[in-house]
Amino acid sequence: QLQFVESGGGLVQPGGSLRLSCAASGFNFNSYAIGWFRQAPGKEREGVSCISSSEGTTNYADSVRGRFTISRDSAKKTVYLQMNSLKPEDTAVYYCAVVIDPTWFSNITPLSDDYWGQGTQVTVSS
């Protein structure tokens, strides 16, 4: 069973930092690109960042570029999202998913809508 478990969210003040983790299981993790998405109440799901299977290519939404950094640990089958300089507009539930590899596709796009974790809540507020 393909599964993602997101963790690391919480409540932080503007300008603070969080490190999200996405632990994957049930598939050949190292063969696929992984992305982070977020969804706030009343808004559509937004692609935040993604990383290629080889770790050679990354992509970021304009809204987070320069503040967020995506990485992956093959041994731990985990993808991370380091979130710095957080803003209130970053408040959302964050999800990870398999994505089209950014090596050959520029958009942050799920490979399938069938596989999502429970998400982790990020709240940025004073």
Q: pLDDT > 90: what percent of the chain?
A: 83
- Assess whether pLDDT exceeds 80 at residue 31: yes
Interatomic CA distance for residues 105 and 13, integer angstroms: 34
Q: For residue 1, name the pLDDT band (cuts at 50, 70, 90).
A: confident
pLDDT tens readout for residues 54-87: 878 999 999 999 999 999 999 999 999 999 999 9
CA atoms within 13 A on the CB side of 11: 2
- Assess whether pLDDT exceeds 90 at residue 119: yes
Burial of 70 (0-12, 13-18, 19+ CB in 10 A): buried
Q: For residue 36, name the pLDDT band (cuts at 50, 70, 90).
A: very high
Average pLDDT score over the chain: 94
Token pair belonging to 52: 């290629």
Interatomic CA distance for residues 23 and 76, integer angstroms: 8
Contact between 38 and 121 under an 8 Å Cβ cutoff? The reply is no
Q: For residue 115, name the pLDDT band (cuts at 50, 70, 90).
A: confident
